[in-house]
Structure 1
Amino acid sequence: MFNLRSLQKNKTVRYGVPMLLLVVGGSFGLREFTQIRYDAQKIRKRLDPALEARVDTERQSVILEEEYEKMKQSNLDEWRNIRGPRPWEDSREYQEQQRRRDN
């Protein structure tokens, strides 16, 4: 009985141990909650198997030489760099200005 009362009055036991349990327990708890979040994102990003197979075959069928030949055939002399509208500009108004400049 005497030892229990002395432990209750001890500041380390009264404040330190609960704080330590809170910090260590919170660390493990946060790890579990963040793991659930990343697992849910991984499931959401998964593609349909048929679509994924189609995408993989398209990636494999691209040949560098064929793409080079396509680029050689394109006419780069007539190419113009047209910037998009800034966030504060009205996009329709800017498109109209670009059309007027082209004509």
Structure 2
Amino acid sequence: MFTLKALKKNKTVRYGVPMLLLIVGGSFGLKEFTQIRYDAQKIRKKLDPSLEAKVNTQRQSVILEEEYEKMKALNLEEWKNIRGPRPWEDSREYQEQQRARQSRQA
């Protein structure tokens, strides 16, 4: 009897043990919930087999040397960097101004 009353009055047993149980139990619970989340994402990401075959063939057909030859064929000497309109500017008006500048320069 004496030990049971002493344990009930002990603050560590009264507050500490339930807190530890909550923390340890919560971590196991969260592990299960996060695992469900990642499993659901894997299932959702799976593609239709016909679509997956198309994607895989497109990835395999790209060869670095071919892409390099395409880039070499481009005329980069006459390239001009033109900035886009700012958020407060009217994009159509800005495009007309850019076209007018290009026609004057040409």
TM-score (norm 2): 0.73
Shift of 1:24: 1.0
Question: Against the structure 1 CA distance between its residues 39 and 67, is the aligned structure 2 distance closer, same or farther, given a 3 Å change threshold?
Answer: same
Unaligned runs of 5+ in 2: none
Q: Within 2, Cα distance between the matches of 1:38 and 1:73?
A: 45
Query: Structure 1 vs Structure 2: percent identity of aligned residues?
Result: 76
TM-score (norm 1): 0.75
Q: Within 2, Cα distance between the matches of 1:8 and 1:27?
A: 27
Matched residue SS, 2:77? coil
- What does the per-residue CA deviation read over 1:44-74, in whole Å, with 9 as the maximum and x for residues that have no partner? 3332221111111111122222222222222
Q: Within 2, Cα distance between the matches of 1:64 and 1:52?
A: 22
Pair 1:33-2:50 in alignment: no
Aligned residue for 1:70?
A: 70
For these two proteins, the number of residue pairs brought into alignment is: 102
Question: Against the structure 1 CA distance between its residues 45 and 79, is the aligned structure 2 distance closer, same or farther, given a 3 Å change threshold?
Answer: farther
Q: Within 2, Cα distance between the matches of 1:44 and 1:102?
A: 49
Q: Within 2, Cα distance between the matches of 1:46 and 1:91?
A: 43
Letter in 2 for 1:19: M
Unaligned runs of 5+ in 1: none
Question: Against the structure 1 CA distance between its residues 91 and 40, is the aligned structure 2 distance closer, same or farther, given a 3 Å change threshold?
Answer: farther
Q: Within 1, Cα distance between the matches of 2:88 and 2:34?
A: 40
Question: Against the structure 1 CA distance between its residues 41 and 7, is the aligned structure 2 distance closer, same or farther, given a 3 Å change threshold?
Answer: same
